[in-house]
Amino acid sequence: MSLTSVEAQHVRERFGTPCYVYDRAALEAAARAALGFPHAFGFTLRYAMKANPNLAILKLFRDLGLHLDASSDPEVERALRAGFPPGHVQLTSQVPSRRLEEFVGRGVIYNACSLHQLDRYGRTFPGHDVTIRVNPGLGSGSTKRTNTGGPASSFGIWHAYLDDAKTLAARHRLPIRGLHTHIGSGADPAVWTRVAHLVLEIVERLPDVTTVSLGGGFKVARVPGEEATDIVAIGSLVKEAFIAFQRQTGRALRLEIEPGTYLVANAGAVVASCIDVVDTGPDGYLFAKLDAGMTEVTRPSLYGAQHPITVVAAERPRARVVFVGPCCESGDVLTPAPGDPEALAPREVPRPEIGDVVVVGGAGAYCAAMSTTNYNSYPQAPEVLRELDGSLRLVRRRQSLDEMLANEGE
């Protein structure tokens, strides 16, 4: 999303800083683009709600007909409270669900991600349909920390143990109706094509499978020079693979994908204020200290991820600036080197001054949802939705200190 200088100033005046802002038009446009993913025999678009689980965003996607992929029991509960039918919610969790009987009893789809999960599901629901997540042995990601496939990833049932999964399913009379994979974040169509073929090879060994999910990880370009996923190009290749599989086997498979970043990343920004400017001498760095940092946008500190940063200022000499957050933490850096959170990478921008409004872009995904909540006792920032008419609606208020302390004992 883009914010004019006037809009950014207005956000600060009305809601204070730091403050997340999301754009309805951008969210709807991304959803409609994803709904156009090429497919041959039916298609379901699931939003990976971990990217941004704000109720306003969930309800927006619900109204557009999207389904959800939840990563935890609390996310399932949040999805149901947002009004999603249970049958439109799939639980794909790293750990066994503590509410398995309740959720599946209500109609939530369960995706078994380990042999233990599959066995537990079978003992609880013998004879019921099940979906399994398989690690196909291939991963792709902008960093090792976003790679969710291959031998270094704990996600899913390792492909070499497929026969063990089939044995468990047979023991509990579980038809394996769905096969799910997710390899990480990537934009290379060749990787996605390879994954599709690997998955279809696995499907050949699972005769009851009718639905295949290729997961998400559709990379977006937050800053110039980053490669964005062409979902039409990827989808067209996947569609061809599914058609070829149908011709070979007679099985017409339904396709699912579950993007998160693709749907929300560039529909959000953080409006912040420059609260101090310091330097470390002529051979050092010029630092702009913001009131937003790792407590709002953790990705740079965690991955060396890149976010666009705009100083809202009139014409002013430019300078090479390292942007940092307010936390008493040397890693609270918003401008690390790409993929290396321990190296600084100054940005050339109008030289910041104390009091400037600064906008951190690409903050719709894995920012509010993945913040280092309450570190240094900073409150959770508010979230605002810009409606189609340009009006701003508060969709989460700023946390108070009393709310932070509410669960603590005397």
Span 118-141, pLDDT tens digits: 999 999 999 999 999 998 876 544
Predicted local confidence at residue 148, as pLDDT = 45
* Residue 89 in tokens: 């919610």
Predicted local confidence at residue 143, as pLDDT = 43
**Helix (H/G/I), strand (E/B), else coil: 353:** coil
* More confident site: 53 or 195: 53
Is residue 357's pLDDT more than 70?
yes
Active site residue 327: no
Between CA 260 and CA 258 the distance in angstroms is 7
Instruction: Kindly name the residue from 113, 327, 328, 367 that is annotated as catalytic.
Output: 328
Is residue 185's pLDDT more than 90?
no
Banded pLDDT at 153 (limits 50, 70, 90): low
Q: Residue 280: CB partners within 8 Å, gap ≥ 6?
A: 287
Between CA 168 and CA 157 the distance in angstroms is 12
Q: Report the phi/psi class of residue 314: left, alpha or beta, with left for phi > 0 and alpha for psi in -120 to 50.
A: beta
Q: If you average pLDDT over every residue of the chain, what do you get?
A: 94
Predicted local confidence at residue 137, as pLDDT = 75
Span 246-279, pLDDT tens digits: 999 999 999 999 999 999 999 999 999 999 999 9
> CATH top-level class for 24-264?
alpha beta
Banded pLDDT at 194 (limits 50, 70, 90): confident
Residues 69-86: what's their mean pLDDT?
98
Banded pLDDT at 184 (limits 50, 70, 90): low
Residues 329-336: what's their mean pLDDT?
97
Pure H helices in 172-227: 189-203
Predicted local confidence at residue 182, as pLDDT = 80
Residues 369-375: what's their mean pLDDT?
93
Q: Return the axis-axis angle of helices 73-81 and 55-63, rounded to nearest 10°.
A: 60
* More confident site: 24 or 151: 24
Q: Residue 29: CB partners within 8 Å, gap ≥ 6?
A: none
Residue count of the chain: 410
Between CA 261 and CA 146 the distance in angstroms is 12
**Of 81, 78, 62, nearest in space to 70 by CA:** 78
**Of 143, 140, 135, nearest in space to 188 by CA:** 140
Is residue 142's pLDDT more than 60?
no
Q: Residue 285: CB partners within 8 Å, gap ≥ 6?
A: 279, 322, 344, 346
Is residue 187's pLDDT more than 90?
no
Residue 184 gets which letter from DSSP?
B
Is residue 152's pLDDT more than 80?
no
Predicted local confidence at residue 144, as pLDDT = 44
Predicted local confidence at residue 222, as pLDDT = 95
Predicted local confidence at residue 355, as pLDDT = 98
Is residue 191's pLDDT more than 90?
no
In the chain, domain spans: 5-20+266-403, 24-264
Predicted local confidence at residue 138, as pLDDT = 64
Q: Residue 70: CB partners within 8 Å, gap ≥ 6?
A: 49, 50, 76, 78, 79, 89, 90, 91, 92, 93
**Of 147, 160, 162, 163, nearest in space to 215 by CA:** 147
Residues 376-393: what's their mean pLDDT?
98
Q: Return the axis-axis angle of helices 189-203 and 231-249, rounded to nearest 10°.
A: 30
Measured in Å, how far apart are the chain's first and last C-alpha atoms? 44
Q: Report the phi/psi class of residue 10: left, alpha or beta, with left for phi > 0 and alpha for psi in -120 to 50.
A: alpha
Q: Does domain 5-20+266-403 have CATH number 3.40.50.720?
A: no
69, 86 in Cβ contact below 8 A? no
Q: Return the axis-axis angle of helices 55-63 and 24-35, rounded to nearest 10°.
A: 40
